[in-house]
Amino acid sequence: MVQILSLIHSKNGTLSSMPYIPADVTNLKAKYRRESKLADIEDTIAYFDEKAKANPDFFYRIRLDDEERVRNMYWFRCGLVRNEDTDGYTWLFKTFLECMGGLAPMNIITDQDFSMRAGIEEVFPLAVHRHCRWHIIHKAEETLGPFFADRPELHKAFELCVDHSLTVEEFERSWMTMIETYQVQDNETLGSLWEKRMYWVPAYFMHFFFPFLQTMQRSEGFNAVLKRYVSLGNSLLQFAKQYTALQQKILGSELQQEANTALKQPKLLTYLERQMSKTYTNKIFNK
């Protein structure tokens, strides 16, 4: 604003002779920003409408606030929320459910966001929801790292207890034994992990289908790729177009894997393997 006023001043003489005061310039800039954002929303909706005309299965919803600003947005498999609160997540999950024709996910992995957990419990009450194990351990290691460094036997007992317990009873028994053996009843971080155990310890999810997944690694990997396509300076329309380009690349990779599976059969030794080969791509079958 100072540069704008200086330019006007240089053209019109003294400050008192200027036709605008600083507040006028500020209001004008705010007006331009509002108009620009409104145009961006309109252009994004027009882009989505074009997609919907070309593809009857295309789905999108945009939620505005009282000032006509985007509050939440969902299309393809992408959701944007302005405020990461329960209301925002609940809208997002309900919109996802609408997009999926009422078909809810059976299993969900998220970070430790309790607003998200509240939304999941409301919209997907039958889903098995677990917290990302990597995030929980990574956070705990901020205090447990030095603590374990001085107690290597305790660290080994911790890993054995968490990673190798096959039942809830075995895990809880091993944990109690570990706590008593090493006299760490007063460790607050271990106490916190114990209180949250039903959300992240593998033994509590043995009867549920989480193939090769205990963390949000796939989601984090996608976020890293996404950052190569978009930036904070992108408009909504630019973001939507770049996200579409990324989706097409991922779809192309999936189609290539399916083609490879159709052309090259893995070595099959049992009836079960023959069944699996008809269901999975070669990459997943080999895992």
- Rounded to whole angstroms, how far apart are CA atoms 213 and 131? 11
State residue 264's pLDDT score: 75
CB atoms within 10 A of CB 23: 9
Three-class SS of residue 102?
Answer: coil
Q: Is the pLDDT of residue 121 over 70?
A: yes
Mean pLDDT of the chain: 83
Mean pLDDT of 203-231: 72
Determine contact, residues 85/114, Cβ cutoff 8 Å. Answer: no
Q: Which tops the pLDDT comparison, 29 or 126?
A: 126
pLDDT confidence bin for 259, thresholds 50/70/90: confident
pLDDT confidence bin for 5, thresholds 50/70/90: very low
Q: Is the pLDDT of residue 24 over 60?
A: no
Which residues have a Cβ under 8 Å from the Cβ of 78 and sit 6 or more positions away? 243
Assessment of whether the complete model's pTM goes beyond 0.85: no
